[in-house]
Amino acid sequence: MNPQLKLLHPYPFEKLGELFADIEPSSAHSPIALSIGEPKHPAPQFVLDTLASHLSSLSKYPSTRGSEALRESIAKWLSRRFDLNAINPNTQILPVNGTREALFSFAQALISAEQNASVLCPNPFYQIYEGAALLAGASPQFINCSEENRFLPDFDSVSPQQWQDCQLLYICSPGNPSGAVLPLDTLQELIQLAQQYDFVIASDECYSEIYFDEDDAPPGLLQACAALGNDSFERCVVFHSLSKRSNLPGLRSGFVAGDADVLSQFLRYRTYHGCAMPVHHQMASIAAWSDEQHVAENRRRYREKFRAVREILNPALPTQLPDAGFYLWPATPIADTDFARALLADYNVTVLPGRYLARDTPQGNPGQGRIRMALVAEQADCVEAAQRIVDCVRNL
């Protein structure tokens, strides 16, 4: 077996299962899960209809590159959304089966395993970044995201030697779990660092379409490139998905876009990896990327939930409205693990302790003392969960 497998940490939900192993949840309350970021809003009916109408394509092998029509629909969406001057659907876009598998496999294709090879990523972080680095033979290095830095990675804390050793920088904007958005000028500074130190930026932007001000959409890495006149997107790659944007987590549909030279090698890897998107999924994806009305409606529903939940929570458990995304990231009145246990035992509400999303560093664990709450359930359930959380805080 690959010896690197021994380096993998248990996934956060495995840790959560162990934390709750001896708990009998309160039978006086129905279960409400705020622990996992799985959208629960209905999938768009027109996408489901498109999917069903192309089931006959199951008789065909799909292409790893995806259809020209899919890549063109993605290119049009990217250009509209991020004010791009141009993007080539034939060389700068590659469909993938959701961002999770692509974020992982990208490191396997990109990393040249050698002494001191490292991957930089935020802390807290999406656990795939760390696992991808370890199994590619690189050392993950963590950049803390603290409240003092508005939950953004403290890039100023990265030394010149760390930048020199870096082969891949994962960023997540809007961030998981805080929802913090990297400003355009910060993205441009990172692009300049990538040029200076010769590393690639992998920007996880899967929450980019869930935001609260229709006139203030989060910027993206390719947008930052275009503003610098870097239309080749050199050393920059973005990852997008329909899971959160269109409430289609089961479709496993997304794309990677950016540097054509990098993507040509990633395509070579994927050809052997055997991960082409089924044709009927491609057709459904074209429909989803071509429509914005359902996305705006999705944002409206999240806005209403955040407003209702925060009104209930804030007198007892203060919360900040995130820049974007569907998570709340509040500090807990007791240890995050103890608070999660009390919520389940007494109120049958499941949340994720923040320490499970981060790693210990000399400066501490930046997730410790916080919980991640995913406001993905219907509004009535989120409101009920908020009321139970308030009761829990007041009864501690």
What is the tens place of the pLDDT at every residue in 365-377? 999 999 999 999 9
Task: Note the pLDDT of residue 282.
Answer: 98
Task: Note the pLDDT of residue 115.
Answer: 76
- 339 band by pLDDT with thresholds 50, 70 and 90: very high
User: How far is residue 90's CA from residue 312's CA, in Å, rounded to a whole number?
Assistant: 49
Segments of 205-295 assigned E as strands: 236-241, 254-258
Task: Note the pLDDT of residue 327.
Answer: 98
Do the Cβ atoms of 374 and 326 come closer than 8 Å? yes
∠ CA 320-359-181, nearest 5°, is: 35
Task: Note the pLDDT of residue 116.
Answer: 84
User: How far is residue 176's CA from residue 325's CA, in Å, rounded to a whole number?
Assistant: 8
Tokens at 111, concatenated: 């990393």
β-strand partners of 255: 95, 240
Task: Note the pLDDT of residue 79.
Answer: 98
309 closest CA partner among 297, 298, 318, 296? 318
User: How far is residue 233's CA from residue 255's CA, in Å, rounded to a whole number?
Assistant: 15
β-strand partners of 168: 119, 200
Do the Cβ atoms of 218 and 183 come closer than 8 Å? no
Domains parsed from the chain with CATH numbers: 3-42+294-395 (3.90.1150.10), 59-291 (3.40.640.10)
Residue/partner pairs of 22-27 with CB below 8 Å, 24 or more apart: 23/341, 23/344, 23/345, 24/345, 25/344, 25/345, 25/348, 26/344, 26/345, 26/346, 26/347, 26/348, 27/348
Tell me which residue has tokens 């660092």: 193
| Residue 96 in this model has a pLDDT that exceeds 80 | yes
Do the Cβ atoms of 312 and 162 come closer than 8 Å? no
Average pLDDT, the chain: 97
∠ CA 97-82-108, nearest 5°, is: 35
Question: What is the average pLDDT across 231-258?
Answer: 97
User: How far is residue 296's CA from residue 245's CA, in Å, rounded to a whole number?
Assistant: 9
- 42 band by pLDDT with thresholds 50, 70 and 90: very high
Share of the chain above pLDDT 70, in %: 100
Q: Is the pTM of this model over 0.85?
A: yes
- 51 band by pLDDT with thresholds 50, 70 and 90: very high
- 141 band by pLDDT with thresholds 50, 70 and 90: very high
Q: What is the pLDDT of residues 301-331, one digit of tens each?
A: 999 999 999 999 999 999 999 999 999 999 9
Task: Note the pLDDT of residue 314.
Answer: 97
User: How far is residue 173's CA from residue 155's CA, in Å, rounded to a whole number?
Assistant: 14
- 114 band by pLDDT with thresholds 50, 70 and 90: confident
